[in-house]
Chains A and B, each alone.
Chain A
Amino acid sequence: MDVRSQISMVFHLDKCIGCHTCSVACKNIWTDRKGAEYMWWNNVETKPGTGYPTKWEDQEIYKGGWQKKNGEVSLRGAGKRRGLTNIFYNPNLPVIDDYYEPFTYKYLDLIESPEGEVQPTARPVSLITGEPIDIKMGPNWDDDLSGTPDYGRNDPNLQNLSAAEQEVMFQLEKMAFFYLPRICNHCLNPACVASCPSGAIYKRGEDGVVLINQEVCRAWRMCVTACPYKKSYYNWHTGKSEKCILCFPRLEAGLAPACMHSCVGRIRYLGVLLYDADKIKETVHLDDNQLIDAHRDMILDPFDEEVIRAAKMNGIADSTIHAAQFSPVYKYVKEWKLALPLHAEYRTLPMLFYVPPLLPVMASLKQVDNTEDSKKMNPIAKYWDDNWLYDTSTEELWGSLDQVRFPMKYLANMLSIGDEEKIKDKWKKLMAVRIHRRRVTVGDVSQEKADSVLRDAGLTADQADGIFYLTALAKFEDRFVIPPAHREQAIEMLDFTGDVKGSTGFGIKSKLKRGI
């Protein structure tokens, strides 16, 4: 057992309101620079939709991630042989148009234009060429299902959904969507690290944060291809690749990453997971249907004496072990088995987990006869002429699971490698918590019914209360359990602290000037 610790995340999709505050917080801190304008280390996409960059999930196009062929696991579009022979020209590199051409507006024209017949306008100009452009694409161009024929209907997750099932999803009355916020997953088997010919990318041992050393990156641009989540970005100005750094300077100071700290929906949880690094190799070689469970099995119980001993032997600090015991991520992923990794089939072992959304997915739509009600209405008033009932009642509980507004297959393609049972299991749990809490707070559900529902979902009343607390009430310190980073020890081991007093911890001291 090789115990390591990882700062890991859970995003609760039911709570995301799609406000993009997280993206903006991140942009303002990290990517508001030339060459990085188009980068959204944190982005929020509407699902169904094609996402950012367009259709990133379609690995037939982007060739990201690992693939298993004849028992061997290899990088799909990079690796030693491909990386070194395609180094002069990378046939699988996305280009700026797959994201969007960054732009601004000539705002000054509004103020400085001379008096004239017509109102001045602020024309959009490209941030690359400085020339006026027609904006064809932007961040979240397809927000809230806008332009759905071009975007929503091209979602790669619709694969192996029948035409009828797809049609149902896009019927106006049945239309539903949810948001998918994404950051780098700080994977355990990161494709970006493996693909970098210079060895500029590495995973930090202490907290698992995956970083690109800007001094060593040589723009061989293989990580951009290799990351199946397209979370490694090429800075076209500096000639260096960049990615989410999980706000490590903030983490080291005990602060939550900016996206998480600012999250309006409070959907984000961050905490330590202890895992067994010896199992990485075995796990990534498993078949698709075993992958997700094995991934969860790598996570170790931080209360287990044996694990604690092994963790200490490996130099994991007591404070980190302590944090692991209070980790909200551990609860969601391992204890309650409520959260799933995104596209685990890419085999990077992502360490960001998602609680699948229940609403608006679960509400059912029934055809009812509204004619009687319509007659009662004032004829001058617009009257109710359709016969649909949007139904979120919990009576027909498990029955309604199969009639959800979203085919379960769709979510399964995204979060459980096509296994619908896994999604069903999570939905049952989420629903059971609601019914249980309704019994506690409103009291119109009988004890027997609530108990039977909990039993069916495999939860105890205590667990249901725990899920409820962490989902609905959790305070800042419950959502973010961040252990001290013990940077002081690292510094002591490098230099005498006296020598570096006042100068460590400030990172790069030279200017990030583009080479010639």
Chain B
Amino acid sequence: MDALNNFFLIALPYIALALFLVGSIYRYTYKGFQVSSLSSQFLEGRRLFFGSVPFHWGVFFLFFGHLFAFLFPKSVLAWNSIPLRLMILEITAFIFGISMLIGLINHFVRRYTTPRLRSVTNKMDFVIYIVLITQTFFGLWIAYNFRWGSSWFSTLLTPYLYSIFKLEPDISAVALLPWAVKIHIIGAFTIIALIPFSRMIHFLVYPLNYLWRPYQQVRWNWGKTSVRAPRTPWSLHRPKNN
């Protein structure tokens, strides 16, 4: 049991984080062409709505929810100190979880019942669907059976995650958690490990910078005016080249 715990709760996180970091940076820098959301809307544009929209908004909320609980555990506990607020948080999160699960199932069914999509589906798509569906299912299971997750996440899981990041892994508390929670932890690190090896890489390139960039973009192969000023050394005007 100890060996298993050590592997899944200590080794796996480090392997996953290493794969995630090295893999994502490598793929982003050297395989830019392969970083894409691989949209399939062009081949099937109706059913996608019922998969993509509930799934992504669900993921969006839950991802930031988990991140927030990890970064600011005290604020979450303070918020939860009033039962009504705890209920609001738990119910909202649960609804987003359901939305995510429904979206995933719709995605899954759509992808495997639309003949046109077969040619743009690979094995990894299947793997991430299974992992994501399992993960979402256990997330909901835990939320329902082991209440109230938002509170004990902050007291139990956040210290464990901190210990991982501080390179002093301490699993004494998490090792005692029910198996469903452990599966959820393992699932989370599996997903992190899979990001650079699947289409999930697309959320790392979320185009936030669109918000503040000007609409039009003109690029010059050389410094527009400096090219005519012979005394400026070229090294001062390295152009943004493509």
Contacts and interface: CB of A to CB of B under 8 A. Distances in A.
Interface string A470-508: 000000000000000001011011100000000000001
Interface in B160-190: none
Interface in B138-155: none
Contact of A239 (B36, B215, B220, B223): B36
Given A193-B217, A205-B220, A315-B228, A490 B38 contact: no
> How many B residues are at the interface, by size bracket?
35 or more
A223 to B, nearest CB: 12
Interface string A175-211: 0000000000000011001101111011111100001
Nearest to B217: A202
A218 B35 contact: yes
Interface string B26-61: 000011111111111111110011001101110000
Given A214-B33, A314-B225, A490-B239, A239 B43 contact: no
Interface stretch (A88-96, A300-308, A324-332, A412-420): A88-96
Given A493-B223, A515-B36, 9 more contacts: A91-B49, A203-B216, A203-B218, A217-B36, A220-B39, A221-B41, A236-B40, A314-B225, A493-B221
B45 A95 contact: yes
Nearest to B34: A515
A89 B225 contact: no
Given A205-B218, A205-B219, A219-B39, A88 B52 contact: yes
A contact residues, range: 35 or more
A216 B209 CA distance: 13
B35 A516 contact: no
A237 B40 CA distance: 9
Interface in B202-217: 202, 205, 207, 209-211, 213, 215-217
A199 B115 contact: no
A89 B234 contact: no
A142 B199 CA distance: 39
Contact of A95 (B41, B122, B237): B41
Interface of B: 30-45, 48-49, 52-53, 55-57, 115-116, 118-120, 122, 124, 197-199, 201-202, 205, 207, 209-211, 213, 215-228, 234, 237-239, 241-242
Interface in A87-121: 87-91, 93-96
Contact of A128 (B36, B119, B205, B207): B119
B174 to A, nearest CB: 32
11 contacts: A84-B207, A128-B119, A202-B218, A219-B37, A234-B39, A239-B120, A315-B228, A490-B221, A490-B241, A508-B33, A515-B35
A95 B43 contact: yes
A130 B115 CA distance: 10
B118 A129 contact: yes
